[in-house]
Amino acid sequence: MKSALVKKITDRSANISILGLGYVGLPLVRLFCEQGFQVLGLDVDQEKVEALKQGRSYIRHVDSEPFRQWHQEGLFTPSTDFALASEADAIIFCVPTPLDDHREPDLTYVINSVQGMAPYLRPGQVLCLESTTYPGTTHEELLPRVEQEGFRVGEDFFLIYSPEREDPGSSTHTTRTIPKICGGETRACLEVGQTLYEQVIDQVVPVSSTQTAEAVKLMENIFRSVNIALVNELKQTFMRMDLDVFEIIRAASTKPFGFMPFYPGPGLGGHCVPIDPFYLTWKAREYDVATRFIELAGEVNTSMPYFVVQRAAEVLNEHTKPIKDCNILVLGLSYKPEVDDDRESPTYRIMDLLEQKGARVYYNDPFVPRIKPSRKFSRFAGRESSPLQGDYDLVVLCTAHSEYRKINPEELAAPILDTRGVFENIPGKVYQA
């Protein structure tokens, strides 16, 4: 059965099903379609499916035109009907793995997806989870649910874990060029999984198990979280000394060894770095391990929006204005420059804290013209991007979009609180946070 599946994959006759058509799933659809595979795109969001049927990509950095063409040619079928996956040879899960209100893993989307797919599984399929999660998820949660359908892993079906490594908006690192980690439940599983991804990814990196592959993804993002926390703490220290942390980072970066630059900001955003470390801290408790370093980094990064709001109050006070009843414009809602991805953006927390203190808060973002509903900050849904010029008492820059780098601070009536080191400090006009 393995040989037959490998042959179908290598001769491009395999049907690929991708469940979850977001920032991970949609670029993956594009890769497989580009290589001539028949692709079924599944999502529970009817609006996303209808947009794709009309040839419209709802992600800014993913071009619409190819999807329009592939859909017309019958190469790509977007749908909400899980039953269609019974024809798939490969099923790839790209669903969210958030934290619950207690900062514990919420695998609801993963488990519901696997259970929803279970009636349509058949022998000779490869199943892959790409969602970030703790070591053991594939083995402990996916494997038993598929085996209870009567399939034998490594013989009737093949189970792998291959973490997503998307860098939204980057022209340097694309889905195709970023090396792909792949771990299998058995040697046969790994062989099938490696073959699958080698058709669309330049380099596939095999590892010894699904648990190892899951741990790789967590290590990558914990590394970022800890180093960002360090530089956020250093920023506050250097500010007390009246030193510019961004100048210090630029100078330190000239060292050709032993230093890697990380940059401070108003907090962590995106679906990975603010969330993934806590998947490991949760799992570590099962082994009586206290992950103090990771948790301390989380505390530092989580505190940054509060630091920004404190600085906002200090700047307004310097201009003899209380924060209450002030008009504050926040620049940048997306979590990183040049993308429309606002998941876990620290700007939301900053807006929330400012409003709690009585400020009237507006936002500007060229990539997020209107705020969509979200779980944490549903009350912001429907707000629209405001103009740069207006009757504002303070402007807070949270995202370093290229458009903002063109701003001349002297042309704005209000002072600027810069959390990203975009502008040079100007006494009485540009402040660091």
**Active centre residues (catalytic):** 272
The Cα–Cα gap between 72 and 6 comes to 28
CA 292, 271, 380, 378 torsion: positive or negative?
A: negative
For residue 344, give the DSSP letter.
Answer: T
Torsion angle of C-alpha atoms 127, 132, 135, 137, degrees rounded to 10: -50
The Cα–Cα gap between 397 and 416 comes to 7
Q: Which has the closest alpha carbon to 271: 155, 168, 414, 135?
A: 168
127 φ, ψ (degrees, to nearest 5): -110, 135
What is the three-class DSSP state of 39? Answer: strand
Element (H, E) at 91: strand 90-93
Using H for helix, E for strand and C for coil, what is the string for 374-398? CCCCHHHCCCECCCCCCCCCEEEEC
What is the three-class DSSP state of 160? Answer: strand
Q: DSSP secondary structure string, 346-359?
A: HHHHHHHHHHHTT-
| Cβ pair 40, 77 in contact under 8 A | yes
Q: How many CB atoms lie within 10 A of CB 188?
A: 18
| Cβ pair 24, 94 in contact under 8 A | yes
Q: For 119, how many CA atoms within 13 A lie in the half-sphere containing its CB?
A: 6
Q: What share of the chain is helix, strand, coil (3-state, %, to 5)?
A: 40, 15, 45
The Cα–Cα gap between 51 and 22 comes to 13
- One-letter amino acid of 423: F
The Cα–Cα gap between 262 and 224 comes to 8
